[in-house]
Chains A and B, each alone.
Chain A
Amino acid sequence: MSARLEIDRIETSYGATRVLKGVSLDVAPGEFVALLGSSGCGKTTLLRTIAGFLSADAGEIRVGGRDISGEPPDRRGMAMVFQSYALWPHMTVAQNVGYGLRLKKWDRARIDARVNEILAMLKLDGFGHRNVTQLSGGQRQRVALGRALAVEPQVLLLDEPLSNLDARIREDVRHEIKALQKSLGITAIHVTHDREEAMVMADRIVILDAGQIAQVGPPETIYNAPNSPFVAAFMGATNVVRIEAERSGEAIVVAPGAGNRPARLARPGPQGFARGKLVAHFRSEAAELADAGADFADSLMLPGRIVQAAYPGGVWRYSVAVGESQFLVDAPEKRALGDAVAVRVPADALHLYQAGAS
């Protein structure tokens, strides 16, 4: 029942405000794509455009090769799970799940059988007669999922379905949804603003930034090779240091700067880079704390002072003041506030971009 979904240069506006600025995306049959972006970047808008609740100003949407841009929402073979779940409070669980089948004029017995099947699949057996207002968040979420799956859609659209759940339940539900999607072989687009959720659930991640796709790729590529400072920062490489460097063969030579010592990094730097300013992003867990005087080869060294310490669990997280900037660095050992240290960032932990690239 799964189909290829092609989104071709879609543009959508609210009144005069253009929200989607030409989004193109190919989703293979049975693929699970996570649409990741910060709040307000247009994720819901894209999903609602795909579902047909908003009409695109330009572009095409195809399901299984068929252009559905002009079709009403119910002719698109898509089912949506809403962020608020949007369950109908005046109906029971079974009535919610079976509503789409009633619209399809299935007979009573067949609807009951299908609803029971869905409820069993979602571990909601015996909840059919409950009022949806008497369910927990996780159960409501599953009813919403069941309502969407009951009609056997070709494409499943999920709008932040987990963001209203407790952190602990969320982890379980992630795996449940993913397993269900795989076993049904359904094509799915899952909207989220949670990086980790996208990483663990998706076959492929799409990063959306202000109505445009910033990067598309498998989780490990997005994580390890973000193609822009925006994606790097969004994927957790929030420490930023500006450096002057020059290319030398397959390495770059970093000049001493306001925060950094001179260094030689055994990597070529961004494509087409010869010399000039670079923006380097790195993750707190990819850096280390060294003693103030220590020096390491093939690393960027940033001497500074510890100004804050916290213990989020497993490792200590230090805030290190280096010149005007502050960096977050994880380290296993306990150090005192005010200690002089050097932040060591190994060359392969740096994401380098030409300054001014964006």
Chain B
Amino acid sequence: MGPNRNISILLTVPALVVVALLFIYPLGFSLVGAFQDKAGAWTLGNFGRAWDLYRLDTAFTVVIVLVSCALIAFFSVAIGGYLTLGESRVAKAILNFVYRWPLFIPFIVAAQCMRTFIARNGMMNMTLVYFGILDLDQVQGFLDWRGIVFTFVWKQTPFVALMVAGAMAGLDRATIEAARNLGASRLRILVEIVVPQVSRTLAVGLVLSFVTMMSVLSVPLMLSGQSPSMLTVNMAWRINSVGDYGTANALGFVSYLMTGFAAWFYLRHGMRERAGR
């Protein structure tokens, strides 16, 4: 066992080196950079500037991502629930075929499509007007925070739904039938029997989506030019237009704290659940 073990450790070294060089080093570098001024002296000035300029954007980012997460949770549970509990075979087959498509579309393409879809004179409004659901003078564009949320939800729901539907399919069907046997409606079964049993998977999907959405630049950049914007846009601005790496690093540190909080929340939840078993 001994030599074998050494060899297997040796085999992981290249992977570890790559992770260290490409990930840990730059991460550490920018974390340190958040606490240094241009001359390299230690300071909290970057955070002061970030607070002065971007506290509204920070709140905006958190709200957008949380609202998106809530909607993603709702829709992915609805999709997974229909695939698990639905009666119509045909509808299930169609849903199962269609819902994954957005997974294969990159964020930037999705954002580009959304621009033309949800703009004031975009396809969505024109279609609604065409069918007489909206009046031409009622239409409004959604190229603001709503457009960002719409795109995030559209793009991330299939990902979470895929995980959730998989977990639901793996449940002991008898736990569902036992509830039906006692007279639970489909909705009650979904809420009281199915979702609690897949809550861990749902939480993982949402945390991963949270982190993904925190790091997307293209969607807020293309869908909402106005202020406030999301932190990724601000970081890009600080670096590209101002050359201010310090503040960008400070903002990066803040978003790192947010995702870290999400991960901590998930881990804590997971531990408690495991302890409960």
Chain A residue with the shortest CB-CB distance to B273: A90
The 0/1 profile, CB within 8 Å of A marked 1, for residues 178-208 of chain B is: 1111111000100001001101000000000
A88 in contact with B175 (CB, 8 Å): yes
Main secondary structure of the interface of B (DSSP, over half): helix
Within 68-124 of A, Cβ neighbours of B (below 8 Å) are at 72-74, 78-80, 82-90, 99-100, 103-104
Residues in B neighbouring A83, C-beta threshold 8 A: 174
A151 in contact with B180 (CB, 8 Å): no
A80 in contact with B172 (CB, 8 Å): no
A131 to B196 Cα, complex, angstroms: 14
Q: How far is the CB of B191 from chain A (nearest CB, A)?
A: 12
How many pairs of A and B residues are in contact by the CB < 8 Å rule?
Answer: 62
A327 to B184 Cα, complex, angstroms: 54
| Of A87, A100, A131, the contact of B175 (CB 8 Å cutoff) | A87
B174 in contact with A84 (CB, 8 Å): yes
Interface status of B277 (Cβ within 8 A of chain A): yes
- B-side interface size class: 10 to 19
Interface status of A248 (Cβ within 8 A of chain B): no
A48 to B174 Cα, complex, angstroms: 11
A104 to B184 Cα, complex, angstroms: 9
Interface status of A164 (Cβ within 8 A of chain B): no
Interface status of B135 (Cβ within 8 A of chain A): no
B175 in contact with A86 (CB, 8 Å): yes
Interface status of B276 (Cβ within 8 A of chain A): yes
Within 124-152 of A, Cβ neighbours of B (below 8 Å) are at 131, 133, 147, 151
B182 in contact with A82 (CB, 8 Å): no
A355 to B192 Cα, complex, angstroms: 58
The 0/1 profile, CB within 8 Å of A marked 1, for residues 266-277 of chain B is: 000000000011
Q: How far is the CB of B226 from chain A (nearest CB, A)?
A: 44
The 0/1 profile, CB within 8 Å of B marked 1, for residues 242-278 of chain A is: 0000000000000000000000000000000000000
Tell me which of A53, A82, A86 has the highest count of chain B C-beta atoms within 10 A of its own C-beta.
A86
Residues in A neighbouring B175, C-beta threshold 8 A: 86-88
A82 to B172 Cα, complex, angstroms: 11
Residues in B neighbouring A53, C-beta threshold 8 A: 177, 180-181
Residues in B neighbouring A61, C-beta threshold 8 A: none
B197 in contact with A88 (CB, 8 Å): yes
B172 in contact with A86 (CB, 8 Å): yes
Chain B residue with the shortest CB-CB distance to A89: B197
Interface status of A202 (Cβ within 8 A of chain B): no
A82 in contact with B180 (CB, 8 Å): no
A89 to B195 Cα, complex, angstroms: 12
Tell me which of A72, A73, A133, A147 has the highest count of chain B C-beta atoms within 10 A of its own C-beta.
A73
A78 to B183 Cα, complex, angstroms: 11
Residues in A neighbouring B199, C-beta threshold 8 A: 90
Q: How far is the CB of B53 from chain A (nearest CB, A)?
A: 45
Residues in A neighbouring B183, C-beta threshold 8 A: 74, 100, 103-104
Interface status of A46 (Cβ within 8 A of chain B): no
Residues in B neighbouring A88, C-beta threshold 8 A: 175, 178-179, 193, 196-197
| Of A82, A87, A89, A147, the contact of B177 (CB 8 Å cutoff) | A82
A86 in contact with B182 (CB, 8 Å): no
Residues in B neighbouring A84, C-beta threshold 8 A: 172, 174
Q: How far is the CB of A153 from chain B (nearest CB, A)?
A: 9
Given contacts A51-B181, A88-B193, A103-B182, contact A131 B172 (CB under 8 A): no
A88 to B196 Cα, complex, angstroms: 9
Chain B residue with the shortest CB-CB distance to A83: B174
Residues in B neighbouring A133, C-beta threshold 8 A: 276-277
The 0/1 profile, CB within 8 Å of B marked 1, for residues 275-313 of chain A is: 000000000000000000000000000000000000000
A155 to B178 Cα, complex, angstroms: 15
Residues in A neighbouring B179, C-beta threshold 8 A: 88, 99
A80 in contact with B178 (CB, 8 Å): yes
Chain B residue with the shortest CB-CB distance to A53: B177
Given contacts A86-B174, A131-B276, contact A100 B193 (CB under 8 A): no
A104 to B179 Cα, complex, angstroms: 12
The 0/1 profile, CB within 8 Å of A marked 1, for residues 233-277 of chain B is: 000000000000000000000000000000000000000000011
Residues in B neighbouring A86, C-beta threshold 8 A: 172, 174-175, 177-178
Residues in B neighbouring A147, C-beta threshold 8 A: 178, 182
Residues in A neighbouring B182, C-beta threshold 8 A: 74, 79, 99-100, 103, 147, 151
Residues in B neighbouring A51, C-beta threshold 8 A: 177, 181
A51 to B180 Cα, complex, angstroms: 10
12 contacts between A and B (CB under 8 A): A72-B180, A73-B177, A73-B181, A80-B181, A86-B172, A87-B175, A88-B179, A89-B277, A90-B197, A100-B183, A103-B188, A133-B277
For the complex of A and B, list the 4 residue pairs with the smallest distance between their C-beta atoms, beginning with the closest.
A74-B183, A86-B174, A100-B182, A90-B196
Q: A78-B181, A86-B177, A88-B193 are in contact. List 5 more A-B contacts (CB 8 A).
A: A53-B181, A74-B180, A74-B184, A89-B197, A104-B183
Residues on B facing A (Cβ under 8 Å):
172, 174-175, 177-184, 188, 193, 196-197, 199, 276-277
